[in-house]
Amino acid sequence: MAGSDTRATILAAARTSVLRDGFAALSTRKVADEAGVPQSQIHYHFGTREQLVLSVLEAEDASLVARQAALYAGDEPLSAQWARACDYLDDDLDSGYVRILHEMMAAGWSTEVVGERVRRVYDGWTTVLTDAAERASARGIRFGGLTPAEVATLVGAAFVGAEAMILSGTEGPTRPFRDALRAIGRLIAAEEARLAALEAEVGS
């Protein structure tokens, strides 16, 4: 098996193991058995189990951050972009990305190398959200006196919190996290309508 194929096989096995058993129960032995490779190959390609799972996270995160950046850089109204971001949340929950991210966030509380890498991942998402808020602000969208950086911080926290609650199984009729996130889109749409009415008045 070629080196790149071995690496890809190990990453896939690690992903499967984390989604099935969680990070706390993960071992390089289990991943080696899942991948059908000697345990030495894991240490050769990744070093430690932490570096292995972080490689899984980073491989997925790069494409998803690029996806979000492309979404918010488009010409759709911000309310439509927000609706699609909420759709993506469901996709990312189904794919397992959110589970892996939260496993790493929890591990990062006690393992500095994991925590530092997770913070880097979160910084990437925050940059995308800040850029989106700045573009919306430049178009005249008001955020109730919040700066773009504050908007990005609160939006990121809202999604992370909703993800954590959904993963823990606490979503329900009295805690409709997905619906609550989508409801923010109605506030954005109302602000877009206000801005459109103002522009129409000025243009008349």
pLDDT tens, position by position, 26-62 = 999 999 999 999 999 999 999 998 999 899 998 889 8
Contact residues for 168 (Cβ-Cβ < 8 A; gap 6+)? none
pLDDT at residue 22, as a whole number: 92
Tell me the C-alpha distance between 91 and 97, whole Å. 9
pLDDT digits (tens, 9 = 90+) for 64-109: 999 999 999 999 999 999 999 999 999 999 999 999 999 999 999 9
Half-sphere exposure of 78 (CA within 13 A, CB side): 25
CA distances from 202 to 45, 125, 198 (A): 62, 36, 6
pLDDT band at 25 (very low <50, low <70, confident <90, very high): very high
pLDDT at residue 204, as a whole number: 64
CA distances from 164 to 72, 100, 171, 183 (A): 24, 11, 10, 19
Helical H segments across 96-111, by residue range: 97-108
Enumerate domains of the chain plus CATH numbers.
1-47 (1.10.10.60), 54-203 (1.10.357.10)
pTM: 0.88
Helix or strand or coil: residue 201? helix
Tell me the C-alpha distance between 143 and 59, whole Å. 34
pLDDT digits (tens, 9 = 90+) for 123-148: 999 999 999 999 999 999 999 999 99
157, 151 in Cβ contact below 8 A?
no
According to DSSP, residue 76 is labeled S
Strand partners, 175: 172
